Amino acid sequence: MSVPPERTPDAEQLAEEIVTGLRAALEIFTVDVGVRRGLYEALAARGPMTPRDLSKTSGIHSRYAREWLEQQAVAGILTASGPAGDDGYERRFSLPAEHRRVLVDRDDPLYLAAGPQFIVSLAETLPELLEAFATGAGVPYERYGRGTREGIAGLNRPMYRPETVRSWVAAMPDVHRRLTDEPRARVLDLGCGLGWSTMALARAFPGARLTGVDLDAASVDEARRNAREAGLDDRVAFARTDAAGIDMDGSVDLVTVFEALHDMADPVRVLASVRRLLAPSGAVLIGDEKVSEEFTAPGPELDRINYAFSVLHCLPATRAEDAKVEAGTVLRPDTVRAYAREAGYGSVEVLDVEHELWRFYRLSV
């Protein structure tokens, strides 16, 4: 552990940081209002609108429409133009084109509108989390509800593009060749959530057959629906099952685990189970948080956000599953290596994949 003295905040710095965080938290909640009520989509579709325009279009009260629009403009999210009029309802508000990428276009790499939904769902579970802190129990994943389920999926969805996931697999040239050249290669995607990663892999490798696995029933139901709507359900299947006891007919060429290993209650057993399914020269591809390799306080930005997610969600959700291991969100390379060794893998390689948030590993027998 290292504690750089020059970075130790004094009371005024800490107070300033908390005030800034309070403002940011409040604004995140107002963004969630805009997303859930379809206000950004209305502004994107119809152009500049007065509060009364937005009220009629979106089915909200005009006074709330005005206050929300003004707040969003003061926050720099919307732009405002024209006079307010005698009653304050004539000013027109617009959503800049570049901001639509962040708030409206779900496939854009910069889309983040699902994030506030996730944060709000964490706030809704705080009473249970406080109780868990006292008893040592957990907070089951399903208690976090739709906001967490769709929030996580929405944040990750933009990165699950065929060309992106293909580049991750290409860091393992032998596996990439098999998925590209061999007919009916098989891929198992663990912790698939709503299925966006599984479907991206299917598009990246049109000859492969994919199975996505998740423990959450609601997620699997949505994944199946998403695959049907995408016309991929002939090659993509989803199963609700515990990956620690997974069994399949035949062998698998690639197992993927994207941002899910740190959430598993028994990751060693999961890795051991899929090792037995691997075809000769098959591999496990893990993408998990790109945190510091050792604990440092104060820590970098990415460590800070991952520790916060761990306290509020990942650790309590894992503890609710009678966990054998409780990694939390901050999954370091040495921990992944230890899991792999115990699960019987002969090698663990950190892959040369550029990614701002994740570190990628190859596990081979």
* Structural class in CATH, domain 141-364: alpha beta
Amino acid identity, position 345? Y
Contact 225, 254 (CB under 8 A): no
In eight-state DSSP terms, residue 36 is H
Mean pLDDT of 264-284: 94
Q: Is residue 279 helix, strand or coil? A: strand
- Domains of the chain, by residue range, sit at 5-107, 141-364
Torsion of the alpha carbons at 147, 153, 155 and 156, rounded to the nearest 10: 160
CATH value of 5-107 in 1.10.10.10, 3.40.1260.10, 1.10.150.570, 3.30.420.10: 1.10.10.10
pLDDT at 245: 83
pLDDT digits (tens, 9 = 90+) for 30-71: 999 999 999 999 999 998 999 999 999 999 999 999 999 999
Mean pLDDT of 169-186: 93
pLDDT at 183: 82
Contact 286, 361 (CB under 8 A): yes
Q: Classify burial at 355, counting beta carbons within 10 Å of its beta carbon; exposed 0-12, middle 13-18, buried 19 or more.
A: middle
Lowest average pLDDT, out of 129-143, 193-207, 315-329, goes to 315-329
How distant is the alpha carbon of residue 244 from its chain centre?
A: 22
278-289 vs 92-94, strand pairing mode: unpaired
278-289 vs 358-364, strand pairing mode: antiparallel
Written as six digits, the tokens of 329 are 């969100």
Spatial CA neighbour of 351 closest among 359, 343, 342:
359
| pLDDT, the chain, mean | 93
- Give me the long-range contacts of 54-59 (CB less than 8 A, separation at least 24): 54/93
The pTM for the full model equals 0.90
Q: Classify burial at 72, counting beta carbons within 10 Å of its beta carbon; exposed 0-12, middle 13-18, buried 19 or more.
A: buried
pLDDT digits (tens, 9 = 90+) for 204-238: 999 999 999 999 999 999 999 999 999 999 999 99
Written as six digits, the tokens of 222 are 């949505």
Q: Can you tell me the distance from the alpha carbon of 113 to that of 103, in angstroms, rounded to the nearest whole number?
A: 5
CA-based torsion, 314, 354, 361, 334: positive or negative: negative
Percentage of residues in the chain having pLDDT higher than 90:
89
pLDDT digits (tens, 9 = 90+) for 107-147: 999 999 999 999 999 999 999 999 999 999 999 999 999 99
pLDDT at 167: 97
Q: Can you tell me the distance from the alpha carbon of 51 to that of 31, in angstroms, rounded to the nearest whole number?
A: 17
H/E stretch holding 137 reads none
